[in-house]
Amino acid sequence: MAILVDTGTRLVVQGLTGSEGRFHGLRNRSHGTQVVAGVTPGKGGQDVEGIPVFDSVAGAVAETGANTAMIFVPAPFAADAMYEAIDAGIGTIVCITEGVPAHEMLRIHAFLRGRGVTLIGPNCPGALSPGRANVGIIPAEIFREGSVGLVSRSGTLTYQIGHELTQLGLGNSTIVGIGGDPVVGSSFVDVLARFEADPQTEQVVMVGEIGGDEEEKAAAFIESEMTKPVVAYIAGFTAPPGKTMGHAGAIISGSEGTAQAKKDALEARGIRVGTTPTETAELVLQLVSA
């Protein structure tokens, strides 16, 4: 099994006719994802290398049975794209778009409540279940199928640690990039709960970074709710207070949100924290070999 995306994923790409949507939509298809439709208002009836384009997500769902949406829509229109996918009955939405205003995401959070929809992102690399489906911009070539679940706020660190795991002969059940904005659709806890319930996942790597308190919340959840071992890595030990580093959500406020504070919170609950991506992968190997 896997979480979020698998062989049953039927993907509609919102913004398929744009350069980024086209490139990554076709790339996802080349890795085995069922890309069944694209959506660009006013371009219904066209196609992108055999993928039909519709004017609306509702039309795409009705014609193709799409159940997952990937959003490559410019930031000023990304929130509307998310609402449209939700209203059309899409169950899993992956928003790649960067720069979606935080106040728009707060409204979407409220709108999602009780609807049974999973939103990953915005400003995220997406989700990949090696050998099954890739929805987003994660380079599937550097990953292999296995038992390690990987959840991260950072896209590039996701790729780096995934590569380190592959070099050690380890594979992944699913890789999930939740995004680095202050307000995102799914938290560490949301994804960790899915990994805990997934039979294929036997170990989990969590990649955090400075800013906010999501890692501290995850530490408490891991201690109280998870039976599977978790290894963590926190980026940003040298980041100065008050300065955004990399992501909109990666900013330290006073003594809160520092890499050291997050590392301490995790280790206090018995969660091993690697000091480098390489060491983090080696800690996972120790778990697998034990």
**What is the domain partition of the chain in residue ranges?**
1-123, 143-290
Which of 89-98, 129-138, 249-258 is the least confident region? 249-258
Confidence of residue 261 (pLDDT cuts 50, 70, 90): confident
**Residue 186 and residue 123 in contact, taking contact as beta carbons nearer than 8 Å:** no
Query: Would you say the CATH fold of 143-290 matches that of 1-123?
Result: yes
* CATH top class, domain 1-123: alpha beta
Helix (H) or strand (E) holding 136: strand 133-136
Cα–Cα distances in Å, from 235 out to 31, 107, 238? Answer: 30, 29, 9
Cα(87)–Cα(81) distance, rounded to whole angstroms?
Answer: 10
Q: Give the residue among 263, 270, 265 at the shortest CA–CA distance from 227.
A: 270
pLDDT at residue 120, rounded to an integer: 98
pLDDT at residue 1, rounded to an integer: 77
208 forms beta bridges with: 234
Catalytic residue chosen out of the listed positions 31, 103, 163, 247: 247
Name the CA radius of gyration of the chain, rounded.
18
Per-residue pLDDT reduced to its tens digit, 187-238: 999 999 999 999 999 999 999 987 778 899 999 999 999 999 999 998 865 5
Cα(61)–Cα(11) distance, rounded to whole angstroms?
Answer: 10
pLDDT at residue 247, rounded to an integer: 54
- On whether the 143-290 domain is CATH 1.10.490.10, my answer is no
Which of 89-103, 166-180, 208-222, 253-267 is the least confident region? 253-267
Cα(75)–Cα(65) distance, rounded to whole angstroms?
Answer: 27
Per-residue pLDDT reduced to its tens digit, 5-17: 999 999 999 999 9
Q: Is 163 a catalytic residue?
A: no
**Per-residue pLDDT at 63 exceeds 60:** yes
Which of 1-10, 18-27, 254-263 is the least confident region? 254-263
Cα(206)–Cα(208) distance, rounded to whole angstroms?
Answer: 6
Per-residue pLDDT reduced to its tens digit, 125-153: 999 999 999 999 999 999 999 999 999 99
